[in-house]
Amino acid sequence: MKNRMKEAENLKGDWIEKDLFIRYNMDPKIWKAAQRNHFPYNVSLELIVGVPLFFPIIYLITNLALFEKNYEYLKTILQTLGVSIVAYYISDQLINAFKDTLAKKGLFGRDLNKAGI
């Protein structure tokens, strides 16, 4: 552990790379290679989820409003859709707000809930 801390001082790169080296003896090259900055990993979540849902929802809304004239069911669908969009936006903003705070404390990555060293 102490040897890795001494070696980490000589590493060039950000503090995440150094911390991963100290905790898990992870080579910074492996960390950089694991960063998914190319297609399809750089496509936004809104695009991945939104496009497949957009057309069926538009079809459902127009079908209920224009052809079936079932306004109670349409109202329920629109309320559910509205609450879902607001909940998604709030959770997305909370993740971004807490991400930096947790990273400053050294809590990041998939081992977030493990005690560590």
Q: What domain range is 94 assigned to?
A: 41-111
Q: Same structural domain for residues 23 and 56?
A: no
Q: Same structural domain for residues 100 and 68?
A: yes
Top pLDDT among 10 and 42 is at 42
- Peptide bond connecting 40 to the previous residue in cis, omega within 30 degrees of 0: yes
71-104 and 45-62 helices, crossing angle to 10°:
170
DSSP 8-state secondary structure symbol assigned to residue 1: -
**Is the whole model's pTM more than 0.75, yes or no?**
no
Each residue of 34-85: pLDDT tens digit? 777 777 778 888 888 888 989 999 999 999 888 888 899 999 999 999 999 9
Q: Is residue 116 part of a domain?
A: no
Say whether 41 sits in a helix, a strand or coil. coil
Q: Same structural domain for residues 51 and 99?
A: yes
Q: Is residue 25 part of a domain?
A: yes
